[in-house]
Amino acid sequence: MTDLHRKLAEFPKAVLGYHPTPLEPMANLVAEFAHQHLFIKRDDCNGLAFGGNKVRQLEYYLGEAKAQNADCILITGAVQSNFVRLAAAAANKLAMQCHIQLEQRVAGKSALYETSGNVLLDQMLGAKIYHYPHGEDEEGADNRLHEIADDLKAKGHRPYIIHLAPGHPPLGALGYVDAACEIADQINQHQLHFDRIIVPSGSGNTHGGLLFGLRALGIKTPVTGICVRRDAAAQTPRISARCQELAQMLEMQNPVSDDDIELSDEFLGPSYGQLNAATKAAIDIAARKEALILDPVYSGKAMAGFLQSAKTAPRDSSLLFWHTGGSPAVFAYQSELSG
């Protein structure tokens, strides 16, 4: 057991997913791009309510919630948020209530966007749903959660808030420090080497946690974050802050330098949650070549970045795509994805 493993073990953790998740070659994409080594890490296959990267994060958030004897959790996110869907599922597994707040982050969507996909699953899971009219007001959204929590406290509940805005310990990022340990074990087990890992970069917990964990283990593989929420200039200090916060939480020196933070916003436009041509093409290729279901918000844009890397990287290089899930959201984009 490494020092990193021991430090992670000090944090309470609720076991919610099936880990380790599969690490698979993508043979059909190898043939398509005349490339030798293309792999995928299947965090869409970790079991809880369609799975996804947030399962790993929720294990630490809900571990703390249970340690505090909370009986309900509160979380905020976009209308088609995978995070709030999985929070509702995790709460059910742990016999807790879940209160979710849906923010209006994506303009110009149809009624289908407001009712299908993750929203339908939120309802099926029995979460109490609230609405917040703004999409770019992280502090305001968190403040509204605190108002709801105060009302729940007055009724005798013990709420736990999963915050959105910076300024709170990123417990969820520990899930991807954990994931770094997992992929390190798989690399050793299968005698693999990766020249680059491509992952979506949104809140920064997945990207920052994975990068921090790899560097703490002495693994220098570049990790490229594909921007899905804000451009590279705005995202870079967010990833840097996440890594520094992790160092403080784990009481260790930050192993991540500014040069380690690699971001691409080439596939971000026109904005968060909006489909573009490159992402649509990547979603189609992944489905038809590898039977992978990717969403337009996170994994589809990351796949567009991955395919771009496959086109430009040396033929003998080895690339890993980290599939963060999100498949239920495709139903909210039916008109844009069909045809």
Q: Which pLDDT score, from 0 to 100, does residue 315 have?
A: 86
The answer to whether the beta carbons of residues 319 and 309 sit under 8 Å apart is yes
Q: Which pLDDT score, from 0 to 100, does residue 81 have?
A: 97
The number of angstroms, rounded, from the C-alpha of 51 to the middle of its chain's C-alpha atoms is 11
How many other β-carbons are positioned within 10 Å of the β-carbon of residue 188? 9
The number of angstroms, rounded, from the C-alpha of 260 to the middle of its chain's C-alpha atoms is 19
Q: Which pLDDT score, from 0 to 100, does residue 339 have?
A: 67
User: 50: helix, coil or strand?
Assistant: coil
What span, in angstroms and rounded, lies between the C-alpha atoms of 203 and 229?
8
The answer to whether the beta carbons of residues 317 and 68 sit under 8 Å apart is no
Q: What is the pLDDT averaged over residues 87-97?
A: 98
Q: Which of 81, 240, 299, 309 is catalytic?
A: 81
Q: Which pLDDT score, from 0 to 100, does residue 33 have?
A: 84
Question: What are the pLDDT digits (tens) for 119-169?
Answer: 999 999 999 999 999 988 999 999 999 999 999 999 999 999 999 998 999
User: Picking from 42-56, 103-117, 193-207, which range would have the lowest pLDDT averaged per residue?
Assistant: 103-117
Q: Which pLDDT score, from 0 to 100, does residue 36 have?
A: 84
Kindly report the average pLDDT of the chain as a whole number. 96
Question: What are the pLDDT digits (tens) for 224-233?
Answer: 999 999 999 9
Q: What is the pLDDT averaged over residues 297-318?
A: 95
Q: Which pLDDT score, from 0 to 100, does residue 144 have?
A: 97
Tell me whether residue 338 is one of the annotated catalytic residues: no
Q: Which pLDDT score, from 0 to 100, does residue 128 have?
A: 98
- Fold topology of 56-162: Rossmann fold (3.40.50)
Q: What is the pLDDT averaged over residues 92-118?
A: 94
What span, in angstroms and rounded, lies between the C-alpha atoms of 206 and 226?
11
The answer to whether the beta carbons of residues 245 and 173 sit under 8 Å apart is yes
Q: Let me know if the fold of 3-52+169-337 is the same as that of 56-162.
A: yes
The answer to whether the beta carbons of residues 295 and 326 sit under 8 Å apart is yes
Task: Provide the CATH number for the domain formed by 3-52+169-337 in this structure.
Answer: 3.40.50.1100
Is the model's pLDDT at 247 over the cut of 80? Answer: yes
Task: Report residue 2's pLDDT band, with 50, 70 and 90 as the boundaries.
Answer: confident
What span, in angstroms and rounded, lies between the C-alpha atoms of 45 and 20?
10
Q: Which pLDDT score, from 0 to 100, does residue 200 have?
A: 98
C-alpha to C-alpha distances, 192 to 26, 184, 195, 225, 298, nearest whole angstrom: 14, 10, 10, 21, 26
Q: What is the pLDDT averaged over residues 13-42?
A: 94
Q: Cα-atom radius of gyration of the chain, to the nearest Å?
A: 19
CB contact burial 143-157 (16+ within 10 A = b; e otherwise): ebbeebbeebeeeeb
Is the model's pLDDT at 34 over the cut of 80? Answer: no
What span, in angstroms and rounded, lies between the C-alpha atoms of 206 and 200?
8
The answer to whether the beta carbons of residues 80 and 273 sit under 8 Å apart is yes
- Domain edges within the chain: 3-52+169-337, 56-162
